[in-house]
Structure 1
Amino acid sequence: MQSQSVVMTASVVGATGPQSADFFNSYSAAIRRFDLLEAGREQQLARNWQERRDRRATDELITSHLRLAAKIARQYKGYGLPIADLIAEANLGLVIAAGRFEPGRGSRFSSYAMWWIKATIHDYILRSWSLVKIGTTAAQKKLFFRLRSEMRALTGRGAALTPEAAQTIAERLDVTARDVVEMDTRLHGDLSLNVRFGDEDQSMEWEAMLPDGSPDSETVVAEYDEAAQRSKALHAALDVLTARERRVFEARRLVEQPLTLEELGSELSLSSERVRQIETSAFAKVKRATISAATERFQARPELC
């Protein structure tokens, strides 16, 4: 179909051809041959699509507004994305609008299509801007597309964001000052960790400057040795308990889901209070035995102190 071929042409050129003013000028000249429509004709075409699914009606509706889509797309060239890709996304929004436009509501198709054109362009920019997804909420999207203009109005072109400006913008856009600061950082784009900085002879990658939160080998060995010593001390401490004390201590202190005093009392034919007393006594014995083992260890290896 005619409208579909125009949309596809913009998409293909954006993917493989030159990204320059020459493309926009030649594309603009190509779509000028499509006449603008009167309001009555728009309504008739929309009804033909709604009632009879007449594809020729939507083709005419779309092609007559390709200039509008191109004009809106050009407004977003400051984001550094190929103009042909922006036009292709704008045309996609135009196609969606043509399929959903309802005649008889008293509005022109251009007013309705403008929302869809901007929505598809916004989605494309957000998807293309960063490897990390941004603009996931309506407030974040509004902040993304309005932050630069708000900053220019407050601080002038090229000026850095100040805390006072961040607070003012936050109040205007109904977000937090932290959201404003974070979005300002994100608008500068992603930075590769492999970018090198410093003198040519002594340069290094950003990745090399990142702090490593993982423990070094000496720490790992020390922690493993400490855990092994604790386990050894615990097993030695358990040897000082009687069989009943050990059963109570293990069931109450060494399992993920301890048994209740009532459950142990039923198992050992004891009252809950008696089980509690045994637990308290067993814990005190284990604590004394563990402290004694640790003292002996430090006396044998004073370098651990």
Structure 2
Amino acid sequence: MSDTKTVPAKRGTTETKKSGNSASFSVALSPEQGLNRYLQEIRKFPMLEKNEEFMLAKRWAENEDTEAAERMVTSHLRLVAKIAMGYRGYGLPIGEVISEGNVGLMQAVKKFDPDRGFRLSTYAMWWIRAAIQEYVLRSWSLVKMGTTAAQKKLFFNLRRMKGEMKAIEDGDLRPEHLKKIATTLGVKETEVISMNRRMLGGGDASLNVQIGAEDGSTQWQDWLEDDTESQESTLADTQEHDARMDLLQDAMADLNDRERDIFMKRRLSETNITLEELAKIYGVSRERIRQIEARAFEKIQKAMVDAASQSGLIEAG
């Protein structure tokens, strides 16, 4: 079939509109319609026999017959509604879920090849589920849930598997449940923990939700406390650290090469070298190395105190 053919979904009345090679069908659930009324309406569309469906699909594939395409779509609206009902647990408007499923059905009709020998319902259910799942992932969380096949599989199977284990009301999963889910779905246990905790929260909540105040001026974010260190304190600590490092570098310039090397290896290295090792390097006794280290430390300490006093970092004693 040509990729130029389109069967877009449109909300509104039940009439068919033709324009060139495209058709627009109002098979989606409109906001004004109640769910029960919608379900009653779609039951009026007759199911298709296999031969009838084949002929309609051929008419659409070969002649772009929009009437044939519409009959295939409307006869499968009950399939969309049935699949959509399986996603009611995500707290999204069921009308929107059905509408997204109808879009998937449209795509299935557009790409359906009757010569392959299987029924449209078998082919369409994959398109319907894919459209609904994309909508759920897109709408359920403000933060991206994950795009890999394994993460999507985890998102849509975690609730079911917890139900089978009778762990729906639990907080964090038990180790045995956690291991079984991770193994079955082919994901890491840490991913299961993270997804479970996010889903326990029921989705994201806006920080701008109005709460508390009668005038509606107080938002949730106004009640949140930041327990991290303030930016002012962080900046002050950073500046003080940088100033001390500058003083240290200047003070070390007063040491000779041996004193500087021993001091750095004994006081500034992440893995302090022993007195015995330095004694072997310089060919002196262990006690001599200790004396050089102590003298170097005294020189640096005095130089840093003098420089800090002169620059006003500390008060002169």
In the alignment, what sits opposite 1:147?
Answer: 158
Q: Counterparts of 1:133 and 1:174 in 2: how far apart (Å)?
A: 20
**1:181 paired to 2:193:** yes
Q: Counterparts of 1:150 and 1:304 in 2: how far apart (Å)?
A: 70
**1:212 paired to 2:228:** yes
Q: What is the aligned length? A: 244
**1:170 paired to 2:182:** yes
Runs (5+) with no aligned partner, structure 1 = 198-203, 239-288
**1:6 paired to 2:22:** no
Q: Counterparts of 1:211 and 1:28 in 2: how far apart (Å)?
A: 51
Cα distance per residue 1:215-244 (max 9 Å; x no partner): 434x53464356457658878999xxxxxx
Cα distance, 1:185 vs. partner? Answer: 1.2
Checking the alignment, whether the CA contact within 8 Å between 1:93 and 1:118 is kept in structure 2 is yes
**Shift in alpha-carbon separation, 1:231–1:158, aligned structure 2, 3 A:** closer
**Counterpart AA for 1:68:** L
- Aligned 1:78-97 pairs, distance under 5 A: 78-97=89-108
Q: Counterparts of 1:70 and 1:53 in 2: how far apart (Å)?
A: 26
Q: Secondary structure of the equivalent of 1:155?
A: coil
**Counterpart AA for 1:220:** L
- Aligned 1:285-296 pairs, distance under 5 A: 293-296=303-306
Cα distance, 1:297 vs. partner? Answer: 2.6
Percent identity of equivalent pairs: 41
Cα distance per residue 1:172-212 (max 9 Å; x no partner): 11111111110001112224557899xxxxxx968643332
**Counterpart AA for 1:76:** Y
**Shift in alpha-carbon separation, 1:115–1:291, aligned structure 2, 3 A:** same
Q: Secondary structure of the equivalent of 1:104?
A: helix
- Aligned 1:96-135 pairs, distance under 5 A: 96-135=107-146
- Aligned 1:1-305 pairs, distance under 5 A: 2=16, 4-8=24-28, 10=29, 12-13=30-31, 17=32, 23-160=34-171, 161-187=173-199, 188=201, 189-193=203-207, 208-217=224-233, 220-221=235-236, 223-224=238-239, 227=242, 293-297=303-307
In the alignment, what sits opposite 1:269?
Answer: none
**Shift in alpha-carbon separation, 1:132–1:215, aligned structure 2, 3 A:** same
| CA RMSD of superposed structures (Å) | 3.6
Q: Counterparts of 2:198 and 2:167 in 1: how far apart (Å)?
A: 20
**Larger helix share, 1 or 2:** 1
Q: Counterparts of 2:140 and 2:178 in 1: how far apart (Å)?
A: 22
Cα distance, 1:67 vs. partner? Answer: 1.2
**Counterpart AA for 2:76:** H
**Counterpart AA for 1:108:** R
Q: Secondary structure of the equivalent of 1:34?
A: coil
Mean Cα deviation higher: 227-236 or 133-142? 227-236
Checking the alignment, whether the CA contact within 8 Å between 1:234 and 1:290 is kept in structure 2 is no
Q: Counterparts of 1:50 and 1:119 in 2: how far apart (Å)?
A: 23
Runs (5+) with no aligned partner, structure 2 = 1-14, 17-22, 212-219, 254-298
